Structure formats: structure tokens, C-alpha cells
Structure 1
Amino acid sequence: MKLFKIRGGVHPDDRKQLAAGQSIESLPMPALLHIPLQQHIGAPASPAVRRGQMVAKGDLLAQGQGVISAPVHAPTSGRIMGVGSYPAHHASGLSVPTITLKPDGEDRWADHIQGVEDPFALEPEAVAERVAKAGIVGLGGATFPAAVKLNLRKRFQVHTLVINGAECEPYLTCDDRLMRECANAVIDGIRIMAHALGVKQIIVAIENNKPEAQAAMAVAASAYPDIRIARLPTRYPMGSEKHLVQTLTGRETPARALTAEIGVVVHNPATAFAVHEALRFGYPLVSRVVTVTGGAIAQPRNLRVPLGTKVQDLLDHCGGFKVDPTRLISGGPMMGQPLPSTRVPMVKGSNGVLALTAEETNAREPMPCIRCGSCVQACPCGLVPLEMASHTRIGDLEGAVELGLMDCIGCGSCAYVCPGHIPLVQFFNYAKGEMAARGRAKQKQAETKRLAEQRTARMEAIKQAKREAMAKRKREMAAKKKAEAEKKAAAEAQAAQEGQTDRPVRSAAETEA
């Protein structure tokens, strides 16, 4: 199919050969699982279990709250050891609400787990509902609840489903292996999602550095004329949702808008596989495929990992470190986040664990900007990173916003090509965080002002009500006094009249005498 050119991008060494040849294998069940209640964008799930409770694999551990949320299920059977705080799978390492589960070794599915014989006989709303109940989120890293995307047909005229199999981040091969080994299941999940969306056109986009995945998916899709395989050039960040859609359709998504607004919904192959498992067998999302790789890893592998497994358990299964890593990253090296420790648990959005050596990180002290413009040429969003960084450095964040800060996708292409090794992405992430904090402070200030005004209006209303009540009482008392006075006057008049009537009548003679 015809592809359209996009601006910018870079060509880093993909380093995928370290793990691409390793088939997916299941990680042995660890001794303990630490399952965070928030493994998705949106509101955290609310605990539905208590300490000491026995659960089966697939049982509900925490219920999603609100429209943008997702439930959490038991990755295996066992006993709930507690519901408390545990370090998060996040660069901050801060503790988050977490359920600790001790496996019983049986790995027994719950009795209520049951699939659908024919998912295509279900109404689209029923498919989305099952996907929501299974706790499926975007497994490409964004972790947006998948059911919300499937319901976008209600708001937009959606005509195309795009499966983002680019996996353009270096090192990562989990989607590649999934498409190679489970192509039929992935295609089935894609068709179920297309049915839920009501679209007639499906595009599976895979980069050219994954020829085996392209071939496997092409064979699996050959029976379905509405599915096309797009062979993408190997270029980073081809996996960026908006840039992928532009490459495939030639249409650019407006700034801060959804691709659904131009009729396209994008999902990930691993998400499609999870939808297949949920609809065909009733399995909720309790595990995922993770790539463990990097120059410091003794035996790079692709592992199917129960959610809640500690990073250390993955590293131990891969033989540990052959050299001490300089950097430990969750996700890819371009957009991934530093791991605070190996104690943190794997979550739904964890698609990779990288242990990189000093040679791989190529870390150097930053130098002054020489205004070479390399970052401008590399930026896929058409921004001017050097100017944005300059404004950020002097604290002029509003100026950075005017230059397009909020349109930056944080891909790291600018920092990758910078000869001065300036940490541009860190500048922009700081600026975005600070602007978000200012926005929250402004919102809090506005909310405080609104509440104060409401209180003032409420107190004034109370005072006015009191004044009106007092005035009413005065009027009533005055009316009562007036009525009493009138009554008294009437009584006196009547008494006087009666007294005159009782007086004896004298004769005229008596009067003269």
C-alpha cells in the first residue's frame, strides 16, 4: 500500500538481535506477587478483597472506578497477604496502593471464567463491556483502557482500525515475537476489535526490520480481504500514533486531538491478543510478554510474566547481570523510564526491562548549544527544540509553550542527534510537569475562590433570610398589636354603648323639676 512521508525522525541502532531470536517462554511463578491498583491511565481501582482471602486465577482483586479506569485481577490462585503500600513501577519509586498475593502453586482458574462461542454474534457494546471487565488496557505502553477506545464509534465516524506493530524502540522485541508465534490469535483479536468499532478497513503496520512478523501476519490475514499488511520503513519514531496514521493515510491529526477525529483508531498487537483471550476464553488480563535485554543481561529473553512479578525475578531467570549495568530502564531506551530498583513489580504497561552498559548509554557531560539545527531536522513534530530548551532554561515556560512545548511527544529524537549531548527531553519533561503543576495551582486557586464566593453568597443568603424573618416577625407583631388595639377599642365602644342603654329613662316632668 502507498505510504506517505513524515518529517524528522532518526535511525538508531535497533539492537533487536539480542532478543529477537528468543521464543516467548513463561516465567516460573514467583513466591510473591505485588499487584498495584493503578496499572492504567485514569482513576485507580478500588480493592475488592481483604487480607487472608483465598482467590483463584482471574478473580477480581480491584474494581475500576469511573469511566476512565480498569479492574485488576488475580494473576494466579493463592492467598491475599495484605492490601497496603509498595514501591511503584515508576521513576519516582513512591509507594502506591498494592495488593500482595502469595501463590498456592496450583495456578487454578476461577470457575466463573468462560468465553464466548461466537464473539461476532455479540453487539459492539457487549464486546466493549467484556473487554472492560477483563481489565484490558493499551499494552504498547500508554495503558489507556481499551474499552474506551472501542466505544469511540459513538462519538466519531470511525472507518479504519490500525494495528501498531512498528515497535520502533530499540531493543524491544515482545510484539515481534507475539506476532510471529501467535499470528492467528492476534488477527482474531483484531477482527473482534474491528467488529466492536464497526469499521470495514484494517491496516496492520509492521516495520521492515521484522520480516518474520510481516510474513506470519500476512499468512494469518490472507483469508480476510479487509485486512492489509503495511510494511513500514525502519525509522524512529514510526510507532508514534499520530505519525503512524499520517504515514498510512497522509492525513495529519490536529494538535492535541485524537486520531479518531479523522476516523482512525489505533491499537497494539498485544492488546489484540488480550482481546482474543478475553472473548474466546474469558481470560482477564493477568500477564503480558516482556523483553528482558541489554548488554548487561546474561541471557536476553522474551518472557510471559504474571503481573505483579518483581523485576528482580525476571533478571534472575535471565541469568542476572554479566556486568554491572550503568542504567536500568523500563520500556525502550528512547522513551522508557529509569527503574528506581529491582523490587518494583511488573505492570500492564511494562513491555521491557533493559540493563544497559556504559558503552550502550554513551553518557557524556552536556556542552553548550552550538545552534547546529540537528534537533530541528530530527523533530517529527516540526518543533524547534533548541529554542524551547532555551526558554525553559531561563524559566520562560510560557514562551516554550508558545513554541509548541505541549505538542512535543517526548520521543527523544532531538536529544539523540544533539552533538552537545544536551538532555533536551528532560528539559521538556520538566517544563511540562511545571506547567501542569501551575495549571493545578491555578485551578486550585480558582476553585478556592469559587468556594469562598459560594460561602460568602451562602452566608449572605442566611443573613438575608434572618433579616427577612425578623422583618416578618415585626410585621406580624405590629399586625397583632394593631388587631389587639382594634379589638380593645371595639370592646370599649361596645361597653360604652351597653352602659348608655342600661340607664333609666326620665319623664319630662322630672327633668323640668
Structure 2
Amino acid sequence: MFADYDQIMERLSVNQLWDFPGGVHPEQKKSLSNQHNIEAMPLASAYYVPVKQHIGVHGELLVEVGDHVLKGQALTNNEQSMAVPVHAPSSGTVTNIAEHVSAHPSGIPELTVTIEPDGQDQWISLKPVPDFTKVASVDLINMICEAGISGLGGAGFPTHIKTTSVQPTEFLIINGIECEPYISSDDRLMREHAWQIRQGIDILVHILQPKQVLVAVEDNKPEALETMAIACQQKDNYQVVSVPTKYPAGGEKQLIQVLTSREVPANGLPSDVACIMYNVGTCYAIADAIVEGKPLIKRVVTITGEAVQTPKNVWARLGTPVEELLESAGYLANKQKEARVVMGGPMMGFAITSTKTPVVKITNCLLVPSDEELPHIDDERACIRCSACADACPVSLLPQQMFWYSKAKELDKAQEYHLFDCIECGACAYVCPSEIPLVHYYRQAKADIRNQQEEKAKSEKAKIRFEARKARLQREKEEREEKHRLAAEARKSSMTKDGGAAKDKIAAALARAKAKKEALAKQAVADTTTPSEKTTNETSARSTNQATVSTEQTSKQTKQDKDSDKKAKVAAAIAKAKAKKTKQAAGVVDETSAPSSKKKKNSPITKIPEDTNESEVPAAESEKAKAAELKKKRVAAALAKAKAKKAREAKAAKQKQTEAAEANNNQGEENN
């Protein structure tokens, strides 16, 4: 259980602090660069602005090659939570957007926006806040994010993320320790801009509402202690604390332990112990963003070492190539056998791979040492197991064991010795008599582990996607099978419960189809029916053609045939009656015309026997004609009747074939 708030304040009131294990006391050498005011750098010939200069992800580009930009104009957006925008350090033209050497130990190329300044140095329209106390905290946090502010103490953590802490804050700690040798950028900033740092603190207090503000400054910076004490004297809950000089007292976890005795848990955050910490440079940038409305486009950089003529601190715009800073300080090439520039201090810095490397938000120092000042990595010798590294470790680790496992690539073993708890302060390497660059091995091992974890994460994601797809396909297959099964059961149940009704429905459907066919056949018959006066041969042919239509047509044809026979008989009777009338009329005519017995010579009248009665001749001829006519009609009727019978038989056979075909079709539909 860590100390409570009242106990801590009681000890702080008498300047009694705690301590952390290990630590070293290297030669400071800060006087090389802290004797002169911060200088402003002239415009560079070109600015190389990496789109990512913080922990997190970079935003999407807002500019293209050929665009003209103004000083302070956003080059990327901040739509993602861990994205922090970058801004143009001066007005000019975007000449290139491509990979460029980065401020990283490996120098791995990163996406960079190249801007050629136009010399006008024209600002965008600034929007300062005259009274931040009247602005909501969430709006101030958004302004901090849009200004592109991330931690300037070295970690580069997005400030707006840290500021949105939901846990109650007891101590807001402002880190002005700057414990690493050679570096004096924060020292000069506190001396010259204490009031603006105080404004940044006020803004953070307005947002976080802490109980107490502790401004920590190492006791080797008396001028900075004095100026910060004057700037904060009007605030009762602001306390400037002098911290004993010891490296790495400026580490986040170590400083919290010195001021409050509280230990931040492994893989934990300062908010877990009710503390939150900001660098003095970050506070200055917050004030610049809110009070002045200016985004983060510059920072103080220390240029120092025995290989430069005039060590100093300068206001360097982000994106300025290192070679231009070295030129301003007077680089002494004769002091080095091989050109070597360390970005950062001698304890935690790294040698850059090119002088085209740009200044970024976490660049606080450029150390240009002579060959005698700083040993080369090539000077490494075998470990003698002296355990000095373990004594110097401020986190109470076993650096020697981590070194062996890191060098042998036994990464699992290295993690068992809490490799990721190492803060890479370099205290172990500083005290190593064999001059082994221990931190370099730790960094490489951490990078390898992160790469393995990323590959494993990708593999796990791919496996999860594959398993999800496989499960989805199986689920869809089962759903289809279940759907088909339920449909089959529903059909079976319907047939079982209402089998008769189903059959009736089928029969009704067949009946409707048959009725429709019959209706079409009747219509065809009605359209093709001829008057009864047409010849028997035409009637017979028509009946034969209609015989293939339907059973109804066959029955109708049969009826028509019967009617034809009846009509023939009626016609024969009428003919007979007419013949009789004709005979009677002929007898009357013969009697009235008997005196006219005189005939023409060439008359075609048949000669009548003498013994034949003249009145009987016409009657006999009429009778013969009538008999012949009747015989012809009977023959015709018999022929028609025979043809009708033949047509009926053909129709019946056709109808049987049709019914058989329909029965087969119906059976097939029921099976389906």
C-alpha cells in the first residue's frame, strides 16, 4: 500500500524525499551549452517532416505534391484516437512525399513530406483563446490534439490521450529534471520561459483538477529552480521541489517514487497511483497552442559535444535536417575519425545513420562527441561478471542475464527476466568496465519480440478469420439442410392430415385443365361448324379432323351424325311426298291435254305401246325417278353413316391415348 496524500505532503513540506534503487552519477558537462540564451535558427533550405513523430499511428495526408502550404498548416489529420497531426514548419511548396531516412537507430525510411520554404514564413490564421477558464475541458483537449502535441520529454506519447485520464489525480508532476549529461534544453527553457510553462500548467490543472502540483527540478539547476519558484509563487497548491542529482531521476517511474514513494506497477501507468506527469517542454507547447493558437512546429534542441565549435541551444523547427544544425554550431570534423552524431544524450541516445535525418518532436539533443569523449561500440570486450550493472539498475533487474539471453536470441528467457521492465536508461552500460553496449542488445531483443508478436498476432487473426469462415459455411449448410428437412416434414404432415383434400386439389387441377381444353375445343368446333346444307363428304372430313381434339368433340360429332341421318330420312320423306304430288299433278295435266295428241316429228317422247293407258305413262316414269333418287340418297346416307362410325372409332382410340398420357403426367407430378 502506497503512502497516502497527507503523509506525502507532510514530508514534502520539509523537503524530505524518497529514493529509488541503483542509479549513477555521470559527469554532467551541461555547462558546455547552458551558458547562452536559446538561439533562433534561420530558415532551412528544405524541411523533411515525417508524418509520424509519436507513439501511435499517423494520420492521413491532407496535402499533395505541388501544394502551397502556410506556416502551421496541418499536413495530416487526427481522425484516429492515437493519431497526432504534423504541421508545416514554414510556408512553401510541397516538393515531395516519399520515404526518407528517419530519426531511429536503424534509420529505417519513413513516409515524409518535403517542403521547400518560400522565404515568406507566412502563418495560417491563428485562433488564440483569451480565457481558457471559460472553455470546456473536452474542447481544450481537442485543441491540444489538433496542435499536434505529444510528449517532448522523449517518449512521444500523445498528450491528449494522457490528458483524458478518467481516474482521479492527486499529484500533477511537472518534470524539469533533465538528468542526462550534456542536455540543457529544458534548463534554458525554464530559465527563459518560466511564465509560459506556468500557463501550460494552469491549463492542465483546469482540465485534470489535481489536488497538488509538484514542479520537480534537479538541484544542479539553481537558476531554473529560482525562476520556476517565482513563476509559481502565487499558487498555493503549486510546489517547486528540488530533487537530488542522480541519474536517472528524470525517469517517470523513478521521479514518482522519489516524490511520493509510490511505485508504478509493472505494465502499469502513473494514473494507477493517482499521479500524472508532463515535461516542461510539453507544458510550454500546450500554452503556445491554447494561449497563442500556434501548433507545435518547433522545439529547443541542444547542440553540444567537443566536436562542435560553439555548443548551444537553438529553436529548431521540426523537419530541419541535422546537417544544418551542425553547420550553425560549427562542426569540427577533425575531432572525429569517422563522423558520428548521437541524437539524444550519451546514456539513452543513438547514433544517426545520416545527417539528412530530420529533427522530430522527441529530439532534445544532438551530441557530437570527439573520439575520446564517447567510446565506440567496437570497443566492446567480454563480460567479467562484476555485477556492477545490477547495482546500477534503477529497476532492480539483472542486466547481465538479460544481456546473455538477448545476445543468444533466447527471447523467452530474456522475458522471464523482465526485459520489458527495462527503461533503457543506460546506467548499466555506463558502469560496465567491458564497455558492452547493453542497451543496444536490449533494444534489439525487444524489437525482435515485438516482430514475433506482430507475426503471431497476424497469424492468430488469419486463423480466427479462417475458423470463422469455416464455421459460417458449416452453419449455412446446416441451416439449408434444416430448412429442407422442415419443408419436407411440412409437406408430409400436410399430406397426412389432409390427404383427401390434397388429392381433391390435384383432381380439381386436372379437371380445370381438362375443362379448359374442352372449352378451347368447343370454341374451335363453333368456329368451324358448317350449315347442314354442305355435302356429307365435307361433314365427314370435318368430323375426322375434329376427332383428335377431345371426348366432347367426339360425342358432339356423333350427335351431328345422328342428326344428319335424321335429316336424310326427312329429306327422303319430303321427296317422296313431292313425287306423289307431282304424279297427281301430272295425271291431271294428261287428262286436260288429251285432245292434243298431235306431236312433232322429232319429239323425244318415248313410244308408248298401244295397249298402254296414256295416263299411266307419266306416273310410271315419275315413280322410277323417285325410286332412283331415293336409292341414291340411301346409298349416300349409308356411306355417311359408315364414315361417321369410322371417325368415331378413330376418335375413341385417340381419346384413350390422350387419357393414358394425362394419367402418366399426373402420376409424375404426384411423385414429384
TM over 0.5: yes
1:222 deviates by 1.6
Which sections of structure 2, spanning at least 5 residues, go unmatched?
1-14, 515-672
Q: Which residue in 2 is equivalent to 1:511? A: none
Q: Which residue in 2 is equivalent to 1:67? A: 81
Is 1:20 the counterpart of 2:34 in the alignment?
Answer: yes
Check whether the contact 1:329–1:337 (CA below 8 A) recurs between aligned residues.
Answer: yes
CA offsets, 1:98-130, max 9 Å, x none? 11112111111112x121111122222222121
Q: Which residue in 2 is equivalent to 1:39? A: 53
Q: Which residue in 1 is equivalent to 2:104? A: 90
Partner AA of 2:24 in structure 1: V
Q: Which of 476, 481, 505 is matched with 1:487 structurally?
A: 505
Q: Which residue in 1 is equivalent to 2:283? A: 272
Root-mean-square deviation (CA), in Å? Answer: 2.3
Looking at structure 1, the residues matched to 264 and 41 of structure 2 have their Cα atoms a distance apart, in angstroms, of 40
Q: Which of 337, 345, 348 is matched with 2:350 structurally?
A: 337
For 1:68-467, list aligned pairs within 5 A: 68-111=82-125, 113-152=126-165, 154=166, 156-325=167-336, 326=338, 327-363=340-376, 365-467=379-481
1:390 deviates by 2.5
CA offsets, 1:350-397, max 9 Å, x none? 111111121111236333322221111100001111122233334332
Q: Which residue in 2 is equivalent to 1:502? A: none
Range moving further from structure 2, 393-402 or 70-79: 393-402
Higher relative CO (Cα under 8 Å, sequence separation at least 6) belongs to 1
Looking at structure 2, the residues matched to 208 and 332 of structure 1 have their Cα atoms a distance apart, in angstroms, of 19
Looking at structure 1, the residues matched to 509 and 127 of structure 2 have their Cα atoms a distance apart, in angstroms, of 92
Segments ≥4 residues shifted beyond 6 Å: 475-484, 490-495
Bigger fraction of residues in helix = 2
Looking at structure 2, the residues matched to 392 and 48 of structure 1 have their Cα atoms a distance apart, in angstroms, of 42
Check whether the contact 2:72–2:89 (CA below 8 A) recurs between aligned residues.
Answer: yes
1:430 deviates by 2.1
Q: Check 1:177–1:346 CA distance in 2 against 1; reply closer, same or farther (3 A cut).
A: same
Looking at structure 2, the residues matched to 371 and 89 of structure 1 have their Cα atoms a distance apart, in angstroms, of 34
Bigger fraction of residues in strand = 1
Looking at structure 2, the residues matched to 150 and 194 of structure 1 have their Cα atoms a distance apart, in angstroms, of 10
Looking at structure 2, the residues matched to 187 and 474 of structure 1 have their Cα atoms a distance apart, in angstroms, of 80
Looking at structure 2, the residues matched to 492 and 124 of structure 1 have their Cα atoms a distance apart, in angstroms, of 81
Looking at structure 2, the residues matched to 491 and 297 of structure 1 have their Cα atoms a distance apart, in angstroms, of 105
Structure 1 length as normaliser, TM-score? Answer: 0.91
Partner AA of 2:26 in structure 1: P
Q: Which residue in 1 is equivalent to 2:621? A: none
Q: Check 1:6–1:480 CA distance in 2 against 1; reply closer, same or farther (3 A cut).
A: same
Structure 2 length as normaliser, TM-score? Answer: 0.70
Looking at structure 2, the residues matched to 168 and 31 of structure 1 have their Cα atoms a distance apart, in angstroms, of 34
Partner AA of 1:334 in structure 2: M
Max Rg structure: 2
Q: Check 1:121–1:52 CA distance in 2 against 1; reply closer, same or farther (3 A cut).
A: same
Partner AA of 1:15 in structure 2: K
CA offsets, 1:249-308, max 9 Å, x none? 111111111111111111011111111111111001011111111111121111101111
Q: What SS class does the counterpart of residue 72 from structure 1 fall into?
A: coil
Check whether the contact 2:59–2:80 (CA below 8 A) recurs between aligned residues.
Answer: no
Q: Which residue in 1 is equivalent to 2:649? A: none
Check whether the contact 1:124–1:198 (CA below 8 A) recurs between aligned residues.
Answer: no
Check whether the contact 2:168–2:210 (CA below 8 A) recurs between aligned residues.
Answer: no
Looking at structure 2, the residues matched to 493 and 68 of structure 1 have their Cα atoms a distance apart, in angstroms, of 76
Q: Which residue in 2 is equivalent to 1:498? A: none
Which sections of structure 1, spanning at least 5 residues, go unmatched?
496-513
How many residues end up aligned between the 2 structures?
492
Range moving further from structure 2, 435-444 or 19-28: 435-444
1:444 deviates by 2.0
Looking at structure 1, the residues matched to 201 and 16 of structure 2 have their Cα atoms a distance apart, in angstroms, of 22
